[in-house]
Amino acid sequence: MRIILIGQAAFAEKTLDKLVSKGEEVLAVFCFPDAPGGRIDPVKQRALQLGIPVHQHKTLKTPEVTEQFVSLKPDLAILAFVSQIIPPPVFNAPRLGSICYHPSLLPKYRGRTAINWALIRGETVTGLTIFWLDKGIDTGPILLQKEVQVDPNDTTGTLYFNKLFPMGIEAISEAVDLIKAGNPPRIVQDESKASYDPPCGDEHARIDWSKPAQEVYNLIRGCDPQPGAHTTYNGKMVRIFDARLQKDANSAAGQVTGIAAEEITIALNGGTLAVKRMRGEGGKISAAEFVKQVDLKVGDRLG
């Protein structure tokens, strides 16, 4: 099958490898322009190694991009980790249309940071969707879906890299096989069950220590590694990573209750938070290093 791959980072790189290993004809790779002074995107690097043409555009909403797509005469376009808007003239150019990977069970959790929001809201089951592109945001007909269990201590990072990333590569491969077999599914999404969330940023990641322990913990793991749930100490922002929810606490929520060699503990409303990594004004460091950096003591309050 003649395929155009649109994507970025390791997910698109591994998708490219999978397609090539299956014997598919990847006509070209479209990815973002290189950042000034930054490293080459892995999918670009891999495509060049394989002798596959690479096209880099700040936007795909130009006649030039549409002309490139049409001239390549693709059967299918595959979107693998794409944050650019794909206009109809582009996604309709392939003979069989375009499909996209999304890390949620659509129509729930549409939007760019679906994994973050699923964890923040305490979901115990999530998954991925391969869907057909249309002019909406994550609204197109569903080709296939895969469910995955969310472990109590999963973070956005572990859920993506350990589960949804490898499962997504195989799902794209399965989707290609379904399309090649003819008459692939096109299940219209149920709009009554749809939800859309904005990109998860600092305005959503502030810790309210007065909230129930599980809710605070869900926020922290849902924002790990990005953007990083944050609080303050001595008026300066502090981000918390690599945390675990532990037993009940008797201290006031937000109070440091223990400082050990590997972690610090912070009282919650109905539990205790054990924290191994933090970030203040510098980079991400161990909690022990942070304690020394800011002279944190048992009994100090965060927030």
Distances (CA, A) of 155 to 91, 109, 171, 241, 244: 33, 16, 22, 9, 10
d(CA 287, CA 274): 10
The helix/strand/coil state of 27 is strand
CB atoms within 10 A of CB 117: 25
Residue 54: which of 65, 63, 45 has the closest Cα? 45
Q: What is the pTM of this model?
A: 0.95
Residue 250: predicted pLDDT? 79
Peptide bond just before 88 cis, omega within 30 deg? no
Residue 297: predicted pLDDT? 96
pLDDT tens string 223-277 = 999 999 999 999 999 999 999 999 877 789 999 999 999 999 999 999 999 999 9
CATH topology classification for 2-193: Rossmann fold (3.40.50)
**Boundaries of CATH 3.10.25.10 in the chain?**
213-294
Which whole number is the average pLDDT over 157-165?
Answer: 98
d(CA 227, CA 213): 20
Strand partners, 236: 233
Q: Specify whether the CB–CB gap between 7 and 32 falls below 8 A.
A: no
Architecture of 213-294 per CATH?
A: Roll (3.10)
Half-sphere exposure (Cβ direction) of 170: Cα atoms closer than 13 Å: 7
Q: Specify whether the CB–CB gap between 200 and 117 falls below 8 A.
A: yes
**Boundaries of CATH 3.40.50.170 in the chain?**
2-193
pLDDT tens string 83-139 = 889 999 999 999 999 999 999 999 999 999 999 999 999 999 999 999 999 999 999
